[in-house]
Amino acid sequence: MVYTVVPQAPGAPRVTWDVTCAASRPWLPRTRCAGTSTRRSLPAVSTPLLWRVLTAVDEAVVALSGRLEVTGDVPADLRGRPLLLASNHIGNLDPFVLIAACRRLGVAPRFLLAGGLLDAPVLGPALRASGHLRVDRASADVGEAYHRTVEALKRGGDPIAMYPEGRISLDPGLWPERGKTGAARLALSGGIPVVPVSQWGAHEAVYWGNLKVQGWADAKPYLTSYLRGLRNRPTFKVHFGKPVDLSGLVDGKPGDARRAHERIMRAITEGLVPLRVDEPDLPKFHDPTRPTTGSSPWRP
């Protein structure tokens, strides 16, 4: 590759550009190739201050835990307007990796979180102050949460990140599971663009662990696997794909939410294939704690 150093003001850091980069090579890491600086910008000023601070801390933790490679982008014409980021779910660390990848692109997404997290001591108030949204699937208030989310999306600003699968994939190959239509319904109800996000590598940093942590025996797999990950420093790959084409689909029309969901999941899977090109079947990394009772209808 040929790199050119762009002159900067005295005392300012130098910005490196790759003048040989072309759109035909979208899979090269953003740290190497983008045609722009490796950091776009910091999250928008409208983002709550606490969340901007926490995303900076998160980025440092992810940098300590492994090597982050980000490809693709959030299109400029979608920034500052209603937007959904729909990602596959491969491990306990991947929300942190997703936040760090978004920060590298200059966006700070909010998440739909279970009420238990938002009610937790210390963590709960911090998450609420950061602007994250509550959703309790088993609650009678789920409809209200849905409408709050739609309104938050319509107001624009920061995008909202979702995991359409609803849980870490239990497919033996760690391909995306069938998932639910929540993200698709949100997109159709407000005419909101969806950017598919594909992740690979975060599953190597922390074990799947247990459904509940009630003591040291339950917590031990998380700690020991994370310490092992610190030594091995896995590569965290995150790809932001092109907005999903939801044309021809209408909110409320029977079957269209399912069809929109299928398009979203296939876009996520399409972006995942190049990230794990040397692991097309089973992951090379074996997590003995993760059940493999699920299945993926999107597996290529």
What single DSSP character describes residue 251? Answer: T
CA 234 and chain centroid, separation: 17
Average per-residue pLDDT in the chain? 83
What does the pLDDT look like over 252-298, one tens digit per residue?
999 999 999 999 999 999 999 999 999 999 999 999 999 999 999 99
Are residues 176 and 268 in contact, defined by beta-carbon separation less than 8 angstroms? yes
Q: What pLDDT does residue 156 have?
A: 62
**The pTM is what?**
0.82
What does the pLDDT look like over 203-218, one tens digit per residue?
999 999 998 888 999 9
CA distances from 142 to 112, 145, 150 (A): 12, 5, 12
Least confident of 23-32, 35-44, 142-151, 240-249: 23-32
Residue 144's pLDDT band, with cuts at 50, 70 and 90, is low
Residue 47's pLDDT band, with cuts at 50, 70 and 90, is confident
Span 75-94, mean pLDDT?
95
Residues in the chain, overall count:
300
Distance of alpha carbon 100 from alpha carbon 107, whole angstroms = 9
SS3 state of residue 5: strand
Return the ∠ at Cα 97 (arms to 42 and 218), rounded to 5°.
Answer: 140
Least confident of 2-6, 95-99, 244-248, 268-272: 2-6
Residue 269 sits at φ, ψ, to 5 deg, of: -65, -40
Residue at 208: amino acid letter = W
Q: Which residues pair with 4 in a beta bridge?
A: 17
SS3 state of residue 234: coil
What does the pLDDT look like over 150-164, one tens digit per residue?
776 666 667 999 999
Helices (DSSP H) in 12-167: which residue ranges?
A: 49-65, 94-104, 115-119, 123-129, 142-155
User: Domains along the chain?
Assistant: 1-38 (no CATH), 47-276 (3.40.1130.10)
